[in-house]
Structure 1
Amino acid sequence: MPGHAIPTLRTRRLVLRAPVPADFDAYRDLMASSRSTFMGGPFDEARAWGLFCHDIACWTLFGHGALMIDVATTGECVGQVGINHGPLFPEKELGWLLYDGFEGQGYVTEAAAALRDWAFAELGLASLVSYFHPANARSIAVAQRLGAVRDDDAPRQDAEDLVYRHLPPGLRS
């Protein structure tokens, strides 16, 4: 389903919207910081730009990609959620990042659930995975809150990654 229009998704508290160039500065800053360690960073500006563009290009290439997470009441962008694919990911990956200072408010869980549910409904996917460095306890906890289960048999992008599998609503335990 390449070329799929980038949706705007709304949850109780959030608006998930297409990335725009003005979003890059905060994204770059996160990717240059120690917060990106579990994503293979820190990254220099050129690599961060490449990753940002990958997140957008996935919409044209695969019919899914990244959405920025805005707080509905303030319009403040607090992070990103996306479905990644291509040579960097063995399977379609549901991933997320949250900017500093917005932890513990459930934003990522709410945003990831909305994008996951959109992907199953609109793309008809059989499953999604999330890849984690074993020390990334906070993101693993998000995956577990979303109902994902560890899949030790799944292919991984990095040998040490843990893989958590997300299933469509009728198949979740």
Structure 2
Amino acid sequence: MTRFLDDIRTARCRIAPLALGDVDALTAITDATVTARIHFLPEPFTQADARKLIVQGTADNRFYGIRACTDGALLGVVGVHGGPRGRDVEIGYWLASDARGRGLATEVLAALMPRLALDYPACRVVAECHPDNGRSQALLERMGFVFTGQPGRRPGRVVLARSSQAPGRIDVC
């Protein structure tokens, strides 16, 4: 069954669930600059790790590829975790090193937030962010997230939250 989150298009990219055909590209973009910030990703991130991440996905715990509209190249990943049975939806993302600094994260989150509001209308969306990641904190604040004063479940992280109806949990690298 296709979900409303399963195909999102923006001006520059398409967001859709990762598939086994993405193993090589996912391995390539998940380098040490990503694994150093995301505690559950091993270093080095291997093809076996990529395959495991893709295969273990469920409707309420899935990783989506961020692909260039022009050629379909994998630019990054967005994870959506939690949902109807819980109170929170968590979103995490990382971008390939050559895709950073171009406004793609802003574009992706701006497209994703309205879809989350439709799929999870009663849920709070939360993001865990490391305090030294000022760019991601600024992005989250622009998207309507506020600091909760709660520590994150992940080492050294703080929790930001917003209503799913606001202008989502995000683990940003």
Shorter-normalised TM-score: what interval?
0.7 to 0.9
- Identical aligned residues as a percent: 24
Cα distance in 2 for partners of 1:147, 1:135 equals 19
Residue 149 of structure 2 is matched in structure 1 by 152
Whether contact under 8 Å (1:58, 1:84) holds in the other structure is no
Cα distance in 2 for partners of 1:126, 1:67 equals 20
Higher fraction of strand: 2
CA deviations over 1:115-168 (Å, ceiling 9, x no partner): 222111122243111112222223222212222111113x62125211111323
The residue identity in structure 2 corresponding to 1:58 is: T
Cα distance in 1 for partners of 2:133, 2:35 equals 11
**From 39, 52, 55, the counterpart of 1:53:** 55
**Secondary structure at 1:68 match in 2:** strand
Higher fraction of helix: 1
CA deviations over 1:41-82 (Å, ceiling 9, x no partner): 43542444433434xx232xx2x6222111223322211112
Pairs within 5 Å for 1:2-151: 5=3, 7-40=6-39, 41=41, 42-45=43-46, 46-54=48-56, 57-59=57-59, 62=60, 65-85=62-82, 91-151=88-148
Whether contact under 8 Å (1:28, 1:49) holds in the other structure is no
- TM-score (structure 1 length as normaliser): 0.76
CA-based RMSD of the aligned residues comes to 2.8
- Segments of 5+ residues of structure 1 without an aligned counterpart are none
**Secondary structure at 1:16 match in 2:** strand
Cα distance in 1 for partners of 2:107, 2:16 equals 14
Whether contact under 8 Å (2:26, 2:74) holds in the other structure is no
Whether contact under 8 Å (1:94, 1:112) holds in the other structure is no
Whether contact under 8 Å (1:81, 1:115) holds in the other structure is no
* Count of aligned positions: 161
- Segments of 5+ residues of structure 2 without an aligned counterpart are 168-173
Cα distance in 2 for partners of 1:98, 1:91 equals 23
Cα distance in 2 for partners of 1:53, 1:137 equals 32
Cα distance in 2 for partners of 1:144, 1:117 equals 16
Whether contact under 8 Å (1:58, 1:65) holds in the other structure is yes
The residue identity in structure 1 corresponding to 2:37 is: F
The residue identity in structure 1 corresponding to 2:53 is: L
The residue identity in structure 2 corresponding to 1:76 is: A
The residue identity in structure 1 corresponding to 2:13 is: L
